[in-house]
């Protein structure tokens, strides 16, 4: 993945959370102040991103001598179950390839937190750094293979991601992991297998989950989410990476997006990439 390798010296922290649309340009209350020491171990260096109820911090783990720890913090009264779901998944998949490493988790005062390894730029950021604004076909294939491996792990362990998109596919944060793709942000995930490994019954009412641009036609129609829907989202993500965009990227209305997805022809989706992609 030549486009990714070129960024060896340009990686930075990348960590998303589904609990809010964060924007620090507007003045926000800092939940945990700089230099706060959590349990005599984790020292807060600075807030990276966040809102009034959930924030992301760069921290130092003094006990493990780790300088680049990312702490995701959510107030216990503001959808802490999203962060708890992410923690549970990362604990179950700990040490697996293409999955971020969970380094800490717990409660601090009125907050729930998890600590993650520091990762690099996401695929959307890297694509936009290219002069052509697209990845080469071979790079798209390599990204897709690693992302599929992560999804296979997730699905085999009984979970759906439900928000696969270029922003949730990131490179590693060290020279050794610069060519590794990680699937991140499990806040919207849902367990779809029961304790016996059987698919849970479909719900009568299914709310929308995901990002409008990348979800499958079935999800626009509010059908139950399945592993196939995650794969559809990865498919649309890869088309965007290789083509520079999707035909409905400028649409704001969901009905218009659904209509376009329903009639689009393969050759329209893949006008740049080789015919085999369409």
Cβ contact 136:243 at 8 Å: no
- The reply to whether 230 belongs to the active site is no
Q: Which residue in 40, 61, 110, 163 is the catalytic one? A: 163
- Bridge partners of residue 105, in order along the sequence: 114
Give whole-number Cα distances, 187 to 4, 84, 87, 89, 247, in Å.
26, 8, 9, 10, 28
Q: Where are the beta strands (DSSP E) in the chain?
A: 37-38, 42-50, 54-61, 66-75, 102-108, 111-117, 119-122, 159-160, 169-172, 181-183, 190-191
Is the separation of the CB atoms in 2 and 131 below 8 Å?
Answer: no
- What is the set of active-site residues? 163
């Amino acid at each position: 993945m030549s486009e990714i390798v070129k960024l060896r010296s340009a990686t930075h922290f990348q960590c998303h959370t589904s609990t809010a649309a964060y924007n620090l340009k507007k003045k926000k209350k800092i939940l945990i102040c700089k230099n706060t020491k959590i349990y005599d171990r984790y020292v807060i260096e600075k807030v990276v991103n966040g809102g009034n109820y959930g924030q992301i911090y760069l921290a130092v783990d003094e006990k493990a001598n780790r300088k680049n720890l990312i702490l995701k913090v959510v107030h216990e009264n503001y959808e802490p179950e999203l962060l708890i779901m992410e923690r549970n998944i990362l604990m179950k998949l700990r040490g697996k390839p293409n999955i971020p490493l969970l380094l800490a988790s717990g409660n601090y005062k009125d907050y729930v937190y998890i600590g993650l390894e520091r990762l690099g730029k996401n695929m959307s950021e890297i694509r936009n750094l290219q002069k052509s604004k697209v990845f080469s076909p071979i790079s798209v294939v390599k990204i897709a293979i690693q992302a599929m491996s992560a999804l296979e792990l997730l699905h085999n362990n009984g979970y759906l991601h439900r928000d696969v998109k270029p922003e949730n596919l990131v490179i590693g944060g060290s020279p050794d992991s610069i060519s590794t793709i990680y699937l991140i942000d499990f806040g919207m995930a849902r367990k779809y297998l029961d304790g016996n490994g059987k698919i849970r019954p479909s719900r009568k009412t299914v709310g929308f989950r995901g990002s409008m641009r990348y979800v499958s036609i079935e999800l626009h129609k509010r059908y139950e989410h399945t592993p196939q829907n995650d794969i559809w989202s990865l498919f649309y993500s890869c088309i965007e990476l290789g083509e520079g965009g999707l035909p409905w990227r400028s649409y704001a209305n969901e009905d218009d997006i659904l209509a376009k997805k329903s009639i689009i022809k393969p050759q329209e989706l893949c006008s740049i990439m080789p015919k085999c992609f369409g």
